[in-house]
Amino acid sequence: MISLKSRVKELALFSIPIIAGQIGQMFFGIGDIMVAGRYSNEVVSALGVATGILAPFIMVGLGITYAVSAIASQRRGKNQELKDLVGSSIMAAHICGAALLLILSLLIYNLDLLNLPDAIASKVHIYLIFAGPSIFPIMIFQVFKEYLQAYDDTYYANGSILAFNVFNIFLNIILMFGLGPIPELGIKGAAIATLISRSLMALVILKYTIRKHPFDRLWSKPTLKSVINLGIPISLSTLIEVSLFSVVTVLVGKMSITASASHNIVLNLASLTFMVPLALASSASVKVGGSYGKNDPKELLQYTLAAEILSVGFMITTALCYFLIPGLLLRFATDDPELLKYGAGMLVFVAAFQIPDGIQVTMSGILRGMGVTKEVMFFALISNWAIGLPVGHYFAVTKGMEAAGYWAGLASGLTVMCLFLVCVFFIKYKKFKAEGPSS
């Protein structure tokens, strides 16, 4: 009998490269902010708003691909073939990506509806035009990353993320500030760097996957349907969450430059923290999916507990850091005394929701491995939009807390989401234990 301690160790080791990859993905944004912070506060503000607008499109696209590892691990647990999964997933990525880019294009040419400050409006427009098409390569990359993950092959994909993260930072420096014959491009340079980096990442992982884990490039309608049916609720759940942060970013962007720039720095720090439990959720999805496919409820529960132990342990650590050393963390992005003071006030509320946020995102991955995504989507809508935003608006506007008020609202919504998903898991697990997985 394998102990819970052994499961924790196994999941931790499996998750390390995935965590590194997730952090590397976040550092694409962090790197942009770090470089922009040495360029101008206006560019930091514009970059934050632009990435806040683009983020929901990216995350919705990635949500479709997150279904790949869950489906693959369940099939492997049942000893079923995966030969048509990649082709079907790429087809789903193309369909979803085309729709997302069309919607984004319509938004880009109607940005005036957001009434952004004149100082950043044109910069936001430029960034979205050049970085928007990167939706396609990042989705293709993620399809292969999820496919490889189902085979416990995690080092190459996540290692390439780290390598291209470094490449992206240097490319940002060169294109934003200019070098030799390359002119100074400012925020346009940051957008071009993002597009080039993501495109090269997709090409590199495609070549590796063909060599290491050959796949059938044809797609099948049943598998395409499975990917879409499982992936769309994941996408919508992600859209619900990410769009809330994006709306808050836009709302704060209408405040002072100090409020907007501080919020964008804090958002990137909080997002970086979030990458670790998000990676644990991805790992848990694979392991739980395999247990679900094998119809092994005891193993499934062990992986669930192991994932939550790791997630909560990490988030306790980050909460303490946000409470005790906010200034030190903020100095990685800015030396401006005004931004440091304003940002430190927001980090108190970020610290408050670290533990419930870690539990809820990890539980989302666990439920995904069990094929449960619609309930997650429903509760995400209630927690974020019916609770988080109204409470945040009350504190920000009525109580005059500005950006910090919105973070207080986000903390309340994520706490409720945590409670909802824990209840859903126990209901689904009890049914699974009694009846076995549905066909």
Q: What is the pLDDT of residues 208-257, one digit of tens each?
A: 998 888 887 788 888 888 899 888 999 898 888 877 877 887 788 777 77
254 close to 41: Cβ distance less than 8 angstroms? no
227 close to 67: Cβ distance less than 8 angstroms? yes
pLDDT of residue 307: 95
pTM of the prediction?
A: 0.82
Residue 438 has pLDDT above 60, yes or no: no
pLDDT of residue 4: 87
pLDDT of residue 1: 65
119 close to 257: Cβ distance less than 8 angstroms? yes
134 close to 171: Cβ distance less than 8 angstroms? no
pLDDT of residue 439: 44
16 close to 90: Cβ distance less than 8 angstroms? no
Residue range 81-94, pLDDT digits in tens: 777 888 889 999 99
136-137-143 Cα angle (round to 5): 95
Other beta carbons within 10 angstroms of residue 393's beta carbon come to 15
Q: Which of 261, 260, 109, 123 is nearest to 185 (CA)?
A: 123
Residue type, 426: F
Report the alpha-carbon distance of residue 355 to residue 363 in Å, rounded. 12
Q: What's the whole-number mean pLDDT along residues 101-106?
A: 92
By CB neighbour count within 10 A (0-12 exposed, 13-18 middle, 19+ buried), where does 79 fall?
exposed
b/e per residue, 109-142, with b = 16+ CB within 10 A?
A: eebeeeebbeebbebbbbbbbbbbbbbbbbbbbb
Mean pLDDT of the chain: 86
Residue 424 corresponds to which tokens in the numbers above? 């859903």
Q: Which of 95, 197, 89, 62 is nearest to 147 (CA)?
A: 89
Report the alpha-carbon distance of residue 343 to residue 361 in Å, rounded. 25
By CB neighbour count within 10 A (0-12 exposed, 13-18 middle, 19+ buried), where does 324 fall?
exposed
Q: Which of 280, 228, 220, 227 is nearest to 20 (CA)?
A: 280
Tell me which residue has tokens 């247990």: 291
Residue type, 213: H
DSSP, collapsed to helix, strand or coil, labels residue 430 as helix
Residue 126 has pLDDT above 80, yes or no: yes
pLDDT of residue 437: 54
236 close to 373: Cβ distance less than 8 angstroms? no
pLDDT of residue 241: 82
249 close to 267: Cβ distance less than 8 angstroms? yes
- pLDDT-derived band at 109, boundaries 50, 70, 90: confident
Q: Which of 362, 332, 361 is nearest to 347 (CA)?
A: 332
Q: What's the whole-number mean pLDDT along residues 336-349?
A: 80
By CB neighbour count within 10 A (0-12 exposed, 13-18 middle, 19+ buried), where does 3 fall?
exposed
Q: Which of 231, 67, 201 is nearest to 138 (CA)?
A: 201
* φ, ψ dihedrals at 325, nearest 5°: -130, 50
pLDDT of residue 198: 92
Residue 138 has pLDDT above 70, yes or no: yes
Residue 376 has pLDDT above 80, yes or no: yes
| Torsion, Cα of 311, 315, 318, 319 (10° steps) | 180
- pLDDT-derived band at 63, boundaries 50, 70, 90: confident
Tell me which residue has tokens 């997985």: 437
Residue 376 corresponds to which tokens in the numbers above? 């997650």
The percentage of the chain sitting over the pLDDT mark of 70, rounded to a whole number, equals: 98
DSSP, collapsed to helix, strand or coil, labels residue 179 as strand
- Segments forming the whole domain that contains residue 137: 4-435
Residue range 239-250, pLDDT digits in tens: 888 778 778 877
Q: What's the whole-number mean pLDDT along residues 288-295?
A: 90
- pLDDT-derived band at 400, boundaries 50, 70, 90: confident
Residue 41 has pLDDT above 90, yes or no: no
| Number of domains comprising the chain | 1
